[in-house]
Amino acid sequence: MGTKKVNKISLSLRFFIGFIWLSFWSLFSISLMLICLPFRTIRIRLGNFTGKIIGPFITRIAGTRIKYSNYKRISETKPAIYVMNHASALDIFVAMALCPYGGCGIGKKEIIKIPFFGLVYWLSGHLLIDRSNHQKAISSMNELSSFVKKNNLSIWIWPEGTRSLDGKLLPFKKGFAHLAISTGLPIVPVILHDAYKRWPAKTMDFYPGEVKVDILDPIKTKHWNKENLDSHIEEVKGLMAEALM
């Protein structure tokens, strides 16, 4: 991994502190979201607020230093569809810290199983996709598209759909491109470098060090169409792959 792994005693302590922090703020957020249950846009923003408290803290607990490039581009481009590469559990916490207020995340339904955090994610109004049910997933994405356009919101998505074990990009799912066509929102690629080395996928090991985050120029999508869907997807993937090199 290129750096020393956190020892078992330190790792256990970090997990304990992180769990307490996540649990406290999750429970606090749950209570607020229950009060705001009829108002999804408010719950989304409450979720964004919670993410900005939880995300940076967990990355620090993991021993990761985040170095941003073009940080202001997030706020300057919203509303937009932010697409991030996916290779580590760190990705989620960095995204929580970066996602602008009014940003709606898209995640797998399995998130709901995470203690406290899963309930916060669900109550916050973000979208949980059941990838085993293709028709239901499409219907949910279509509903999200209408909701986003109506309320001038952003979307945060991992187009690979699952984590890469070596940091290289996996094939992209088509959902983000369909969302771009239906909303007309620009796509802003967000690149994490070496996150898979700091917190490898499918492990509970930390390797302290730096993760560089690049926010690339927005890609206009108003001219996109379904006939050229695959080429649009390859355009975005190509730009992200080049930035990862």
Residue 68 pairs with which residues in a beta bridge?
213
pLDDT in tens, 29-67: 999 999 999 999 999 999 999 999 999 999 999 999 999
Is residue 1 situated within a structural domain? no
Distance, C-alpha 111 to centroid of its chain: 12
The closest of 94, 92, 89 to 56, measured between CA atoms, is 94
Is residue 2 situated within a structural domain? no
pTM of the model: 0.92
For 110, the domain range is 8-243
Question: SS3 breakdown of the chain: % helix, strand, coil, rounded to 5?
Answer: 50, 15, 30
Is residue 3 situated within a structural domain? no
CB 100 within 8 A of CB 154: yes
Is residue 216 situated within a structural domain? yes
DSSP 193: E
Share of the chain above pLDDT 90, in %: 70
Is residue 201 situated within a structural domain? yes
| Distance (Å, whole) CA 49 – CA 214 | 22
pLDDT in tens, 111-135: 888 878 888 888 998 888 877 777 7
DSSP 10: H
CATH number where 90 lies: 3.40.1130
The closest of 42, 92, 33 to 62, measured between CA atoms, is 92
How many structural domains compose the chain? 1
